[in-house]
Structures are given as C-alpha cells and as structure tokens.
Amino acid sequence: MEFRYLGNSGFKISEITFGNWLTHGSQVENDVATQCVRAALDAGISSFDTADVYANTAAETVLGEALKGERRQSLEIFTKVFGPTGPKGKNDLGLSRKHIMESIDGSLSRLQTDYVDLYQAHRYDFETPLEETMQAFADIVRQGKALYIGVSEWTAEQLRNGHALAQELGFQLISNQPQYSMLWRVIEEEVVPASEELGVSQIVWSPMAQGVLSGKYMPGQPLPEGSRATDDKGGAKMIERWMRDDVLAAVQELRPVAEETGLTMPQLAVAWVLQNPNVASAIIGASRPEQVADSAAAAGVRLEPDVLKKIDAAVGSLAERDPAKTKSPATREA
C-alpha cells in the first residue's frame, strides 16, 4: 500500500480508502461486512470512510464494531454530516450548528472512538449560513472530536469560500470528496484547479462508476444476478445512467488495455483516478472480501501515457465533463 498527504497538511492516508456506502447495514450481512474490513486491513488499507446517513446510522455502527481492537493511531477514520438521520425531524439534517454538534457525538459513539480523523460536510447546505457551519466545525476541531475538516461534492466557488472562512477561524479545510471516474470527469475543469490552488485534495468515490468499469455488464446481455444493477435498495438507481449499450460496449474495449498492463478491469479503473496528482485516495466498496484485495492492488500503479491515451480513445467521448454537474441539492429535501 502507498500513502499520500491529504491536502496541504502533514496527514497521510492510504491511496485506497475502504468505504461502506450502500453495503454495510443494508446490502451486506454484518459478518461479511466485518470480513471485508479485515480484508482491507490485510491489504494495508488504513483509511476508512463512512457517513451517519448510510443505512440511517447503521453503517457507522458496523464499521465501529469491525475496527474494534485495532490500534486507533494506526487508522484514519472519516465520516460525514448533512443527510437525514434518526426519525428525520426538522433538525435531523443539514449543516446547522445544532445538527452538526449533535451528529458528531452520535458518530463518535457508533464508531467507538474519541475522535475522527476527518469530518466532512456531506453536501453544501444552501439553507444554513456558511459562517454558522464553519464555526461549528472549528469548535469540533478545538474540542478534539475531529482532527481535520473536509467536504463532499462542493463546487470550486464553495470550496474557496469555505477555505477562506476556515483560515479565519484557525483550522484546516483539507479535502473534498467528489465522484470521479473514467466516465465521470466533472471535477477536472473547475474543482481540481481550485483545489490545487487552495491546498485541498480529492478523496474520490465511485472510481469504478458503480461497478460498470469492472466490465461485468455486457451490452445486450442479462444483468448478473446479485449485482448492483439488480439492487432495489438504491444501487440500481445509482448505476442506471451507465447501463446503455454504447457505454457498456466502450467499457469492453478497456479489457485488452487492462490485460496489456497486467491489471484487472477494477484495478485499471482505480489506478486511473490515482494518476491525477490532486487525488489523494480512491474509495472502494465491497460486498465480498476478495473484491477488496483485487482493488487494493491498484495502489502504487503508474499508467504510462500511451495507456491513458488508449483509455481516452475507448471511453473518453462518453465521459460526463460538465462542471455544472458538481452540485449539492438546492434544498435539504431535494
């Protein structure tokens, strides 16, 4: 496993982060989830990402149990706040001071830790003054409940405004967690340049485009049984944008590229996002422990320029690049 600094800080995280969105507490039984976490540790992964909204807090509980007994100082634990939790009452979502201060305590309890290494604003909250949100984060850092602050799916302008307030308040905003893959490149035009300017790194989610870049979906063929495309708990909806024959056919053109480089299709997809120097880590998920070891092998891989050109030739024209697609919901209910 290789490690990279997160933003303009002295904090290092593993190039591969294990995330439990859409799996722990919902799709995967707890014993299998624990096996996946153990597989991540065995692969040298030390960074773990979750959120209070995942499975309505159950994912944090599962992760806390799975990491019990590990040396805390050897782990980097990330979680997030914004989405609705609990009974989803009027103050059970967003980035108000009330929700943030209550949410961090709930997350720490479920994760069975005194602090998280990175606490992230899961989306931008248009209904709460940014000053209120950032002051709450500053207080959490000063209380020692979070060491660093990050965000997720913020635009370049939102990053600049948040970073400026963080500096004024005396803490570091060091990361953004956007979707990024060969097929979803919306951060490249605006978010990445702004982040490089500010000293902010990307921790990217869905580097395999919800599994499409694994190559297991074939154009014109039945969906594999038990795959995300057949999941009625949210997975199928997330993946549907890529389930077009033109996209699936283009992805199959990546197979000889992967074979040429000695990589599996998932490894090629994860390695591709890690070629971007502003990306500190790629988040992988898994429903089976063997998937973890396969994806983790992408750490430290360098793709030659001719390989990157072949990837662009295969799927580049189908990639979404519109920077306007990087956005948070206009309202909390959206």
pLDDT digit string, tens, across residues 40-58: 999 999 999 999 998 888 8
Given 5, 54, 124, 217, the catalytic residue: 54
Q: Give the mean model confidence (pLDDT) for residues 147-159.
A: 97
Which tokens hold the place of 153? 């799916």
Of 271, 261, 260, the closest CA to residue 294 belongs to 271
Radius of gyration of the chain (CA): 19
Instruction: Provide CATH code, domain 3-209+278-301.
Output: 3.20.20.100
Which tokens hold the place of 195? 């982040």
Assess whether pLDDT exceeds 70 at residue 16. yes
Using pLDDT thresholds of 50, 70 and 90, give the confidence band for residue 215: confident
pLDDT at 295: 92
Coarse DSSP helix, strand, coil percentages of the chain, rounded to the nearest 5 percent: 45, 15, 40
pLDDT at 158: 97
Neighbours of 324 (CB within 10 A): 9
What are the φ and ψ backbone dihedral angles of 254, each rounded to 5 degrees? -80, -15
Q: Give the mean model confidence (pLDDT) for residues 210-236.
A: 70
Which stretches of the chain are assigned E, i.e. beta strand? 3-5, 12-14, 16-19, 47-49, 76-81, 116-121, 146-151, 173-176, 201-204, 279-284
Pick from 129-138, 161-170, 316-325: least confident: 316-325
Pick from 142-151, 217-226, 285-294: least confident: 217-226
pLDDT at 241: 81
pLDDT at 332: 76
CA gap 334, 330 in Å, rounded: 7
CA gap 42, 293 in Å, rounded: 8
For the full predicted model, state whether its pTM sits above 0.75: yes
Percent pLDDT > 90 in the chain is 75
Assess whether pLDDT exceeds 60 at residue 234. no
pLDDT at 235: 59
Using pLDDT thresholds of 50, 70 and 90, give the confidence band for residue 25: very low
Taking only the tens place, the pLDDT of each residue in 109-150 is 999 999 999 999 999 999 999 999 999 999 999 999 999 999
Say if residues 272 and 15 touch (Cβ distance below 8 Å): no
Taking only the tens place, the pLDDT of each residue in 77-106 is 999 999 999 888 899 999 999 999 999 999
Strands 173-176 and 16-19: unpaired
CA gap 216, 232 in Å, rounded: 18
- Top pLDDT among 234 and 56 is at 56
Of 204, 91, 218, 110, the closest CA to residue 150 belongs to 204
CA 15 to chain centre: 12
Query: Tell me, what DSSP letter sits at residue 275?
Result: T
Distances (CA, A) of 223 to 39, 97, 210: 27, 44, 14
Helix (H, G, I), strand (E, B) or coil at 217: coil
Q: Give the mean model confidence (pLDDT) for residues 11-30.
A: 77
pLDDT at 219: 76
pLDDT at 239: 73
| Residue 54 falls in the annotated catalytic set | yes
Which tokens hold the place of 135? 């002051």
Assess whether pLDDT exceeds 50 at residue 67. yes
pLDDT at 226: 59
DSSP for 84-117 reads: --TT--TTSSSS-HHHHHHHHHHHHHHHT-S-EE
Assess whether pLDDT exceeds 70 at residue 4. yes
Q: Give the mean model confidence (pLDDT) for residues 273-294.
A: 92
All structural domains of the chain with their residue ranges: 3-209+278-301
CA gap 40, 18 in Å, rounded: 7
Say if residues 56 and 92 touch (Cβ distance below 8 Å): no
